[in-house]
Chain A
């Protein structure tokens, strides 16, 4: 990625001529974006798609650095402790807030500077294709009438777990949580009937629905998913639940405000690019954008909510 875009940068610079010199020309060298997950995961995938547009917009190479481990805390900490010069950026979703709520990482407004929020996915609730549970309402009723019997697959202490706790709070259901890990293993457990229900992203579920192996009960979104047009939203199914996975761009605390603004503006521009919107849509990711101010409010509200959930559930 780096080399071709460098060449492109040089070509662009030659074509446009010298750019107006700002207070400090930023960016003047490649920016490294830390993904606190392994290569090949969905966070990594989403970032790499956006990065291909962002490097053109910023006129510099974007080097993606995968730093996995510790529930995203290792990579996040590495980014927070980097020099606040704007050349190290963190790309992460709610996993960071969850890690903070679980006490794995210290995280507050003093530790990071938020640049923007880009892209989000809504989660759907899914059961085995041969399950007796036919609708979202039946699932919630079963889990409310018989507490601690409906086995719900989550990764304990990760985002899908907190999302399920949130769903419990919204509907009054009481699930029996079973630790089945991330998306792939959880889906396998569902296929094998080792659990009764779980969350899923809408992108990779469609063909299991077509093959009849899985059944999607509801999408926890304001409107229906393009990939699953027949599946009702949760509010259509009678329960108001929103489960949204949001991706954020963070900088280490103390990055100069003008540099943060450059990044925010570049992200705003690329997220409006119809080509990128289409590419993300193919991955079932909505091309949302929030600037630093709006996003900061959401982050703070979500962090407080997750800390509350962790406390109520006795997780730590």
Chain B
């Protein structure tokens, strides 16, 4: 076990605090539900033992995290991140965050339309790829032309592969 340096940091790490609180709240909800699980006639642990133990430990660890943040102790950070891009101290312009939100929202909308409506996969996919591609690109008139071409091309290709070759029944 590595022992973190008991250094004091002047600033309150808000992200860590929120993280700790969310984890604590989540684990307490799970703990509450897990308490209500019935025993099993065959093994002494039953369905509840693991959820209870795990949520209990998560709650305890979250409390440690919250305490460390509030006491202004440093909380070590992961150096082997699996997702690249969230760099320390890097300034990201607001427009970029907006772009990321647009991307997420467009994907959610695309999925929702695919699941809940009878709109054809081909049409939705062409519109989605063209629109999102255009927003992500330099947004020049030339990009618009490329976006439409790419949308139609990739839309036809994915439709062909998924519904004709792989015979996947789309929702």
Contact = CB atoms under 8 A, between A and B. Distances in A.
Given A2-B167, A156-B40, A316-B38, 10 more contacts: A1-B167, A3-B167, A63-B167, A63-B169, A177-B42, A178-B42, A179-B42, A179-B43, A313-B41, A314-B41
B167 A315 contact: no
B169 A65 contact: yes
A177 B40 CA distance: 12
A24 B164 CA distance: 28
Interface residues of A, number: 14
Interface in A1-42: 1-3, 32
9 contacts: A1-B167, A2-B167, A3-B167, A32-B169, A63-B169, A178-B42, A179-B42, A315-B41, A316-B38
Interface in A65-110: 65
A190 B90 CA distance: 59
Interface of A: 1-3, 32, 63, 65, 156, 177-179, 313-316
Chain B interface helix/strand/loop/mixed: loop
Interface string B27-54: 0000000000010111100000000000
Contacts of B40: 156
Contacts of A32: 169
A282 to B, nearest CB: 26
A3 B43 CA distance: 50
A197 to B, nearest CB: 16
Contacts of B167: 1-3, 63
A258 to B, nearest CB: 25
Nearest to A2: B167
Contacts of B169: 32, 63, 65
Contacts of A63: 167, 169
A156 B40 CA distance: 10
Contacts of A313: 41
Nearest to A65: B169
A60 to B, nearest CB: 15
Given A2-B167, A65-B169, A156 B42 contact: yes
B28 to A, nearest CB: 26
Contacts of A179: 42-43
* Candidate in B38, B40, B42 with the most chain A CB atoms within 10 angstroms: B42
